[in-house]
Amino acid sequence: KRAKINSNELGAVFVGTETKPYAVKPTGTIVAEAIGATPRVLAADFEFACKAGTECLQCCIALVGSNMIKYGMAIGADIAEGAPADPLEYSAGSGGTAIIVGNKNYEKEPVALLEGSVSYVTDTPDFWRRPKENYPSHAEAFTGDPAYFKHTIYAAKLLMEELGLRPSDFKYVVFHQPNGKFPLKAAKILGFNREQIEQGLIVPYIGNLYSGSSMTGFSAILDIAMPGDRILLVSYGSGAGSDAFSFIVQDGIVTKRDNAPKVMDYIKRKKKIDYAIYCKLRGKI
């Protein structure tokens, strides 16, 4: 609706999540069918903990950039899991974002133009969930410096070095948001100020969306950004890795962002429930 394209123009529908409804049955086909993109479409599910959504984004960018497809849809969405009384439970949220990636040869009114992207991954076991287990396990303090901060900071630095940019060149920055502390600390280490990160900081309102976290923060920034603004998007997925992207907002943002509800519109219509109802809805009791 916001992109103003026909669903049959989509050449790929990718869903990044760690909470799939089926162990063996792609979610991508369900989404593609629901929006009318089938049957001439590539569909798949991606997994990389909380950066599965930006994995989808990277692949859509590659397919569009190589002219294999005209448009691609990259989705990051999750239902965050946390065992009762586990620290993860206090920031657990549910939600996601879908981003349409298009080739500039076809899309005459783009919302944002990609400048470049990098990925940074290592084998770091900070967070995991075994088959048939209901809740994930984590290495507590180990999830910080050797995991989240190492990967997000290195990915951001690599991208800025490759593009010849500095923190002051960006109007906004958004990181993966497992809690309210980590993204603020990462921004400070890299040299960003609070004004640059505040607009995309959604975790205080809706918690950690896992694969949907950084992409939904990016969407919240696009809701207010103006043409010419440069945005740094840095995801993080346990296991571990980060994807970093630099976007420049284009003129199309002015006409397209009001074609659908904005992130804060969805947040404002939420209904508060108590912990007992939450446990019942999540199947914990």
Q: Quick one: pLDDT at residue 125?
A: 87
- 127 and 248 in a common domain: yes
| Residue 2 belongs to some domain of the structure | no
How do residues 32-80 score in pLDDT, each as one tens digit?
Answer: 999 999 999 999 999 999 999 999 999 999 999 999 999 999 999 999 9
- 168 and 150 in a common domain: yes
- 127 and 46 in a common domain: no
Residues tagged active-site: 18, 50, 176
| Residue 250 belongs to some domain of the structure | yes
Out of 49, 77, 108, a domain closes at 108
Q: Quick one: pLDDT at residue 142?
A: 67
Q: What is the pTM of this model?
A: 0.95
- 100 and 193 in a common domain: no
CATH code of 70's domain: 3.40.47.10
| Residue 274 belongs to some domain of the structure | no
- 247 and 124 in a common domain: yes
Kindly list the distances between the CA atom of residue 198 and the CA atoms of 50, 147, 256, 261, in Å, as whole numbers in the listed order.
20, 23, 23, 20
- 220 and 135 in a common domain: yes
- 130 and 94 in a common domain: no
Residues 177, 180, 184, 189, CA torsion sign: negative
Q: Quick one: pLDDT at residue 193?
A: 97
Q: Quick one: pLDDT at residue 134?
A: 85
Number of domains in the chain: 2
Q: Quick one: pLDDT at residue 88?
A: 85
- 160 and 62 in a common domain: no
| Residue 68 belongs to some domain of the structure | yes
- 79 and 147 in a common domain: no
- 120 and 96 in a common domain: no
Out of 74, 108, 142, a domain closes at 108
Out of 76, 108, 140, a domain closes at 108
| Residue 56 belongs to some domain of the structure | yes
The domain containing residue 42 runs over which residues? 7-108
- 63 and 13 in a common domain: yes
| Residue 80 belongs to some domain of the structure | yes
- 128 and 237 in a common domain: yes
| Residue 20 belongs to some domain of the structure | yes
| Residue 101 belongs to some domain of the structure | yes
Per-position pLDDT tens, the chain of length 285: 899 899 999 999 999 999 999 999 999 999 999 999 999 999 999 999 999 999 999 999 999 999 999 999 999 999 998 888 888 888 999 999 999 999 888 888 999 999 999 999 999 988 888 888 888 878 776 677 889 999 999 999 999 999 999 999 999 999 999 999 999 999 999 999 999 999 999 999 999 999 999 999 999 999 999 999 999 999 999 989 999 999 999 999 999 999 999 999 999 998 999 999 999 998 888
User: Rounded to an integer, what distance in angstroms lies between the CA atom of residue 256 and that of residue 159?
Assistant: 28
